[in-house]
A and B are shown apart, each in its own frame.
Chain A
Amino acid sequence: MTESDEITTALAVIDATLSGEAVGPEHAELAELSLLLADGREAPEASFAASLDQRAARRFGPEPIPGERSPRQRARWRWMFAPAATVGLAAIVALIFVLGSGSGPRPLVQLYKGLSSGPAVRGAAASTSTASASAASPSGSASAPAAGASLGTKSGNGVIASPAPTPSTSGRQIVQSAQLSLSTPPSRVDSVAQQVFDVVAAQHGVVQNSNVTATTSYGNAQFALSVPSANLSATLNALSQLRGASVVSRSDATQDITGQVGSAGRQLAEARALRTALLRQLAAASTAAAVSSLKSQIRDVDAAIARNLSTLQSLHHQVAYSQIQVVINSVGIPGLPISGSGGFTLHRALHDAGRVLVVAAGVALIALAVLVPVALLVGIGLWLAAALRRRRREQVLDLI
């Protein structure tokens, strides 16, 4: 008989003995040993058994204190408070989200924009419209920024409109200018361009030139605006809040031309004084040659006065009117409603809902990409720890 057979037989004898079945006389010793081992089973003392029964009846919870809620009651309270706590936590997160962003719906749009990949190209039918200057203005001989010129720039996707910085003039002659870059879906370029015209008209400014190109898949518009400097801040604020457009970047520049104005004024005054003196000399002139010479000088002085006057007026105009360059580019997916883009429709709501789901899926995917390796590492760590713990436990069996 092989050892395997012996083992099988012995195990069968043990099981039969423990089941109360009869075994052959050749296995009597093993059967007796089995019965003696089973009979040697220790029973717990009655006091311990009673104590353990009591603890089991309490489900091994702590001793009940009169007036205190039982574990079951506490569990029920926890169950009741869990949804409230979850809602409260969500509200706090939402509040932080809103306060951190400064406005309500825009962050979602920004998030969406961050995830979306540039403008989608659509079909073909294009319509182009070009508008020329609607009003002439004196050509400001814009010289290079002199000392004292300053430039401020803001840029970024979806810049929230903020008040334009206004330089403190305090008697100085300051030329102000600004550049504004807006983004809008291609389908809204026309609408946004029209709003630019409306804003300029409302602020008593002029559109020096404009160029608007809009197709179903692409749109672009450029404007050169001149608005009263007193209205520059209001104009920029209005342009930053056009419906359907968001600010990509904004630059504000100032140039102090007090020196140039003073110089032009002095030259004008000198020319006028010279003219007055020449007129007096002319009144006192007695010879034809002297009269002719004086008249010639007076004509020259008149021309100089006219030039100085023109220069001075130009400088005053530059101070009084600020130049604004506005560029509108189409970005994003056509039809995406940007903050403040008008009425609510079921189609838009469904569209928004779809986008929200896309964004949520994207966020979930990113989170998954981070969490899966982390979870894998944690899982391996836990598995190793459990294996180590088990091994240590098992070791004691070999040592005792």
Chain B
Amino acid sequence: MKRPLLRSEVVIDSQTLAVEPDAASSWERLEALYRSSRDDVYAYVATMLRDRLAAEDVTALAFERAFRKRRSFDRRRGEERAWLFGIARNAALDELRRRRRLATLVTEPEDTEGATVEDGAEVALRRTTVLGALAQLPAREREVVALKFHAGFSNAELARVLGISETAAGTLLYRTMEKLRKACHD
């Protein structure tokens, strides 16, 4: 089976950035980070919010904040992607809070039919089932799935973004997968 694309086509050489942090300016580093993470951030935020327009706004806001706070990034506190997703996470949570206050939370999952035009009917059905089950998960569990499967984070990076231990992050992911599996069976 073809390996799914987890990150954007444009992938930065993170090793180069790590070895030669002073060679590139903060702008250049951030622009490279943008190119490599734009779609991942969007996918993560979209899964969190379940609203395409809101996801676009929050994604743009996250990058805007990242560009504004580029000097506050401290490599000793984690990788740049984790830092960026931390900003995106805060923006997404703020949006969720705002929408909750306004009581206009969109609860309907996105229509996934369009993405399955070329797939077989059985695969399309299974995908719809899985995404439907995902949409019914609490936000915290949806977030874990988004970070793992849509942003392509390792368990360690996932833990760093969530601010929990790697073990706790692994356990959370396992239980979420179990929940999804059961929901799909139901």
User: Of the candidates A34, A56, A393, A399, which one forms a contact with B90 in the assembled complex, judged by CB atoms under 8 Å apart?
Assistant: A393
Closest to B47 in A: A42
Which residue in A43, A390, A393 is a CB contact (below 8 Å) of B39?
Answer: A43
Q: Which residue on chain A has the smallest CB distance to residue B130?
A: A36
Q: Is the CB of A56 within 8 A of B31?
A: yes
A29 within 8 A of B: yes
B174 touches A393 (CB 8 A): no
Interface of A is mostly: helix
Q: Is A89 an interface residue (CB 8 A)?
A: no
The chain A residue sitting closest to B163, CB to CB, is: A390
At the interface, yes or no: B85 with Cβ under 8 Å from chain A? Answer: no
Nearest B residue to A49 by beta-carbon distance? B38
CB distance from B140 to the nearest CB of A (A): 4
Return chain A residues, CB-CB under 8 Å to B63.
52, 55-56, 60
Q: Which of A4-12, A142-150, A158-166 contacts B (4 or more CB under 8 A)?
A: A4-12
Chain A positions 6-61 with a Cβ under 8 Å from a chain B Cβ: 6-8, 10-11, 14-15, 18-20, 29-30, 32-45, 48-49, 52-53, 55-56, 59-60
Residues of A within 8 A of B64 (CB): 55, 60
Kindly list chain A residues whose C-beta atoms are within 8 Å of the C-beta of B105. 400
Q: Do A397 and B180 have beta carbons less than 8 Å apart?
A: no
CA A6 – CA B171 in complex, angstroms? 10
CB within 8 Å: A-B pair count = 135
**Number of A positions contacting B (CB below 8 A):** 43
Interface size on B, residues (CB 8 A): 58
Q: In the complex, what residues of B have CB within 8 A of residue A11's CB?
A: 155, 170, 173-174
B37 → A minimal CB distance (Å): 11
Inter-chain contacts of B127 with A (CB < 8 A): 36, 39-40
- Is B161's beta carbon under 8 Å from chain A? no
Nearest residue, chain A, Cβ from B67: A60
| Distance A241 CA – B184 CA, assembled complex (angstroms) | 98
- A394 an interface residue at 8 Å Cβ cutoff? yes
- CB A389 to nearest CB in B, in angstroms, measures 9
A59 to B171 CA separation, bound complex (whole angstroms): 39
Q: Does A288 contact B (CB under 8 A)?
A: no
Whether B150 sits at the interface, judged by CB under 8 Å, is: yes
Is there a chain B Cβ closer than 8 Å to A398's Cβ? yes
Contacting pair B60 A396 (CB below 8 A): no
Please state if A60 and B68 are interface contacts (CB–CB under 8 Å).
Answer: yes
Confirm or deny: B121 has a beta carbon within 8 angstroms of a beta carbon on chain A: no
CB proximity of B170 to chain A, nearest CB, Å: 5
Closest residue on chain B to residue A35 by CB atoms: B4
Query: A52: which of B38, B43, B126, B163 is its contact (CB, 8 Å)?
Result: B38
Q: Which residues of B contact A399 (CB under 8 A)?
A: 100, 139
Q: Which residues of B contact A397 (CB under 8 A)?
A: 93, 96, 138-140, 143
A70 to chain B, nearest CB (A): 13
Chain A residues close to B by CB (< 8 Å) = 6-8, 10-11, 14-15, 18-20, 29-30, 32-45, 48-49, 52-53, 55-56, 59-60, 390, 392-394, 396-400
Residues of B within 8 A of A (CB): 1-4, 6, 27, 31, 34, 38-39, 42-43, 46-47, 52, 55-56, 59-60, 63-64, 67-68, 90, 93-94, 96-97, 100, 105, 110, 112, 115, 126-127, 130-131, 134, 138-140, 143, 145, 148-150, 152, 154-155, 163, 170-171, 173-174, 177, 180-181, 184
15 additional A-B pairs beyond A37-B134, A40-B130, beta carbons within 8 Å, are A10-B177, A14-B148, A20-B1, A29-B181, A34-B177, A38-B150, A40-B115, A40-B131, A42-B150, A52-B38, A52-B63, A56-B31, A56-B67, A396-B139, A397-B139
A to B CB contacts below 8 Å, 23 in the list: A11-B170, A11-B174, A20-B3, A29-B181, A33-B130, A33-B181, A33-B184, A35-B1, A36-B130, A37-B134, A43-B42, A43-B43, A44-B56, A55-B60, A56-B38, A60-B63, A394-B93, A396-B100, A397-B139, A398-B138, A398-B140, A399-B100, A400-B139
